[in-house]
Structure 1
Amino acid sequence: MTGLRVALIASARHPITEPFAGGLEAHTWGLAHALIRRGHEVELFAAPGSDPALEARELPVRKVVLSSAARADASMPAGRWMEEHHAYLSLMLDLARDGEKRFDVVHNNSLHYLPVAMAPAVRIPVITTLHTPPTPWLESAIQTHEACPVLFTAVSEFTASAWHPVVPAARVVRNGIDTAFWQPGPGGSELVWSGRLVPEKAPHLAMRAARAAGVPLRIAGPISDERYFDEQVAPLLGDGITHVGHLDRHALAQLLATSAAALVTPSWDEPYGLVVAEALACGTPVCGFDRGALAEILTPDCGRLAPPGDVRALAALIPRVMELDRRDARRRAEDFCALDRTADAYTSLYEEVAR
């Protein structure tokens, strides 16, 4: 089948551009580029300010203009919630109007419920990727239909299992990273932690483990929760632990490639763990907590996992992980985490539903 016309729905909250707000934005950016390279026409729905180099038309996020009376109503939700709701409502109404004339398939990578709830109104196939553990809004949207017309994929076996009671037939298509970009490096003497600085990613636990192991640690990522950062992270900085800021991909790849090992310390059930794949591609073995899908990615050759939340056990594993062969880490990324595998799987899925 020749190239398909794909409507790719992304986050209306964060632009799809570097430095990425999180793994979801990084994944959507990489997938869009990979699909375009395969000859598909990709039209991206995303927040303003998304990467113009995607060569895909950015659909505007239509901001709602409410009257003072509506804003004063007791039912008025937070302004950001209302703007997101209005953006996705506008998009789905637009697709329902004449989407079948412009697209062959809709691929929803957002976390919003409306693309699922309104899928029956769209006269083209809708695919939704499950990127998170179950949420009440999305579960409700799925159950509004006797037979939900959406085809669901999940980013890991773990995530598919978590959604199984509501979505019993989700197909697993794991996220991937561009192994041609994330190149192996020589390693170094310091540890690295990367990601959003939020409680569910728990960088403070990585800081405690690094300090207990006596190994310096560099932390990279946006301060997405200022109160958490001020109360839990900032007091632990210094004495060999530094926050190097919110880095673009080039700077982050350099940081990973020159680190001895990567710490991954989720305090929630990680649906996939893009930071794990990025570290492995740079030849950097991973030491983390056994939560969510991390055990699907790591093998004993490229990483070790401690019981969830056990800082002492994590610290004890760090010296062993630093001794692992960096070539094995890179090999695991090439075999299991490559973006080409992800894009090929979605291309096959698009062709299947478009028939």
Structure 2
Amino acid sequence: MRIAILGSAAMSVPPSHQGGTEWIAYYQAKGLAGLGHKITLVSFKGSLPGDYKLIEIGYTYEAKTSADIDEIESSRALRTENVRLAETMGKLAELISDYDLILNNMRGEAVFLPLAKFLGKPLVNVMHLPLFPELANIFKIYNTNIITISNNQRKKFPDLNYLSTVYNCVDTEKYVYNPRPKADYLLMMGTIGRHKNQGAAVRIAKKLGMKLILAGKIRDKEYFEELKKDIDGEQIQWFGELDFGKKVALYQNAKAFLFPIVWEEPFGLVMIEAMACGTPVVAFGNGAIPEVIVNGKTGFVIENNSEEEMAEAVRKIDTIKRQDSRNHVMENFTVEKMVKGYEAALAEIIT
């Protein structure tokens, strides 16, 4: 197959720091190229070359201060990303003879639908984010082929053109299993935001008298200000956005990974990263969580967003065998399994 993979209009593929979709796009490109397919990867500058044709987009203007943009024009980030989407559309038109289908990972997916129709190229959209009514409606208009990353994503819009569900992956050679963690802390990693609900993790850690490490970039500054009153640098610590080695070390040595999210989580890549290292996950059962965690075997799925029940689950976390968490990832969420899932799904479009 000849496939144009649209990676990211915001970050390099793979990302230098935090980023989930970008890693998936990288493994798509690398893995499908490794299976003998001709891949063109269109992504933000700084992306990693490989056995595929890499087309980079993006130009960064270095403002004197963040206030030059953020305080004067709140929509600048959106407009800048739109410029990069336009660059991507131009590359698709320019390279029309190099590919037979488009596999899109970029947010802003709707803008590609009229172009793909005009070019006469089938487009397959990977739903890394939740569906919403306006997007679902335009998918219906264009009869867009959709790959979901969990079955739960389909529930509110069951009548769209779903091609397949392909679960995300983790590189099990990089996320190395650790049977004997060196520390006794709880861990929550991910973007700081109210929907991620780091506050619940803080309250649970304090209730149990356990150390908690929070890590991740700040998306919601107001919410982070609320959290800061409990971040004392000792029992409750915040590490910010981490490099890869530090992130893996934290996963490997945590007693449990907490994930008290209060939104319809599309997948939750951090959960399989933790389990790959042997760390069991305790999560509120929203969105795709029951598809990722085996309740009582690789961690615990907490219903009704109950902090009390999450605390109780942490108390019995030693009943979970770390090897079971690792085995679950090896059986369901490897790079190889994901890539073969994409290959099988895309073959249905070409043949």
Using the size of structure 2 for normalisation, the TM-score is 0.87
- 1:153 equivalent to 2:150? Answer no
1:195 aligned residue (190, 193, 203)? 190
| 1:217 CA drift (Å) | 1.2
CA distance, structure 2, for counterparts of residue 325 and residue 77 of structure 1: 48
**Cα offset, 1:133, TM superposition:** 1.6
Counterpart residue number, 1:183: 176
**In structure 2, what residue type is equivalent to 1:27?**
I
- Secondary structure at the aligned position of 1:219 is classed as strand
Structure 1's 170 and 55: CA in aligned 2 closer, same or farther, altered over 3 A?
A: closer
User: Which of 41, 45, 48 is residue 48 of structure 1 equivalent to?
Assistant: 45
> Kindly tell me: are residues 289 and 86 of structure 1, through their superposed partners in 2, closer, same or farther at Cα, counting changes over 3 Å?
same
SS of residue in 1 equivalent to 2:168: coil
Question: How far apart are 1:278 and its partner, in Å?
Answer: 0.7
Which amino acid is the alignment partner of residue 2 of structure 2? R
Q: Which residue of 1 aligns with 2:327?
A: 331
Quote the Cα distance in structure 2 between the aligned partners of 1:34 and 1:96.
25
**Aligned ranges for residues 42-191 of structure 1 at < 5 Å?**
42-52=39-49, 56-61=53-58, 78-96=75-93, 98-99=95-96, 101-112=97-108, 113-145=110-142, 148=143, 150-165=144-159, 167-185=160-178, 186-187=180-181, 188-191=183-186
Residue 240 of structure 1 corresponds to 235
**RMSD value, Cα:** 2.4
> Structure 1: which amino acid aligns with 2:215?
A
Mapped partners of 2:33, 2:12: distance in 1: 19
Tell me which residue corresponds to 1:314.
310
Q: Once the 2 structures are TM-superposed, how far is the Cα of residue 77 of structure 1 from its aligned partner?
A: 8.6
Overall identity of the aligned pairs, in %: 24
- Residue number in structure 2 paired with 1:220: 215
The amino acid across from 1:302 in the alignment is T
**Long gaps (5+) in structure 2:** 62-72
Distance 1:53 1:77 in 2: 36
1:5 and 1:77, CA in 2 relative to 1: closer, same or farther beyond 3 A?
farther
- In the alignment, which of 338, 344, 351 is matched to residue 342 of structure 1? 338
Shift of 1:97: 5.3
Runs of 4 or more consecutive aligned structure 1 residues displaced over 4 Å after TM superposition: 52-56
CA deviation after TM superposition for structure 1 residue 237, in Å: 0.9
> Conserved in 1, the CA contact under 8 Å of 2:7 and 2:26?
no
Change (3 A) 1:162 1:80: same
Q: What amino acid sits opposite 1:151 in the alignment? A: N
1:53 CA drift (Å): 6.0
The residue type equivalent to 1:208 in the other structure is: R
Does the residue aligned with 1:49 lie in a helix, a strand or coil? coil
The 8 Å contact of residues 116 and 128 in structure 1, kept in 2 or not, is answered as no
Of 249, 252, 270, which aligns to 2:247?
252
Distance 1:293 1:80 in 2: 29
Q: What displacement does 1:80 show? A: 2.4
Q: Distance in 2 between matches of 1:136 and 1:229?
A: 30
Question: What letter corresponds to residue 147 of structure 2 in structure 1?
Answer: T
From the superposition, tell whether residues 308 and 21 of structure 1 become closer, same or farther in structure 2 (CA, over 3 Å): farther
TM-score with structure 1 setting the length:
0.86
2:40 & 2:91 partners in 1: Cα distance?
A: 13
Provide the C-alpha distance between the structure 2 equivalents of 1:49 and 1:227, rounded to a whole number of angstroms: 31
Q: Deviations over 1:268-312 (max 9, x none)?
A: 111111111111111111111010111011112111122243222
User: Retained in 2: the 8 A contact 1:197–1:222?
Assistant: yes
Q: Distance in 2 between matches of 1:115 and 1:259?
A: 42
